[in-house]
């Protein structure tokens, strides 16, 4: 990873706080669609992959909250709700590649901490598309630095996120 940055933004969707990430990836929309919609590919960079088809209206019991696919419009939009929180991938042609926009309505989740987690996971997408596996440990290597950038950007206290990282990520995040 090059110098850590905080490229996600905190916005609102239907009056609810949401994180939004825009990535330009040098692969066609159809290839990126496979990466975000095929479970065996999604699990290579996303924190978890649902065993979905996916099709609109599909419900997947994950042993707790049910994931509901609210829109599947290949190869441009995939939207679902998990634990009452909408999440989505929107894909569009961008020159020779694709613009991917990932949005997660976070409600009361800690914004800086959640944004940092998503940035770390999304940093694994482009290597995956290139055929290179980037581990979670590698993706989380600069977690603290990225988190502190988000805490400053969003105007929140960085200490709760630092405490969470110390308890959950150990010495590898810093």
Residues 173/165, Cβ–Cβ less than 8 Å: yes
* Total-model pTM: 0.93
Output the six-digit token pair for 151.
């805490």
Decide if domain 9-168 falls under CATH 3.30.530.20.
yes
Question: Over the stretch 35-72, which tens digit does the pLDDT of each residue have?
Answer: 999 999 999 999 878 889 999 999 999 888 899 999 99
- Where in the chain are the domains? 9-168
Whole-angstrom distance, CA of residue 60 vs CA of residue 6: 32
pLDDT-above-90 percentage for the chain = 84
Edge-to-edge strand list for the sheet holding 85-94: 9-13, 16-25, 97-105, 85-94, 77-82, 66-73, 59-61
């Amino acid at each position: 990873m090059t110098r850590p940055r905080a490229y996600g933004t905190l916005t609102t969707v239907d009056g609810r706080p949401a994180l939004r990430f825009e990535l330009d990836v040098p692969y066609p929309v159809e290839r990126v669609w496979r990466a975000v919609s095929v479970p065996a590919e999604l699990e290579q960079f996303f924190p978890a992959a649902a065993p979905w088809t996916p099709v609109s209206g599909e419900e997947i019991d994950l042993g707790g909250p049910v994931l509901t696919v609210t829109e599947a419009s290949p190869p441009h939009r995939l939207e679902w709700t998990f634990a009452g929180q909408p999440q989505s991938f929107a894909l569009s042609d961008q020159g020779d590649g694709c613009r991917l926009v990932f949005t997660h309505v976070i409600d009361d989740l800690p914004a800086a901490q959640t944004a940092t987690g998503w940035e770390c996971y999304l940093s694994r997408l482009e290597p995956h598309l290139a055929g290179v596996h980037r581990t979670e440990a590698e993706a989380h290597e600069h977690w603290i630095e990225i988190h502190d950038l988000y805490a400053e950007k969003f105007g929140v206290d960085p200490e709760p996120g630092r405490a969470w990282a110390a308890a959950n990520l150990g010495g590898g995040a810093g």
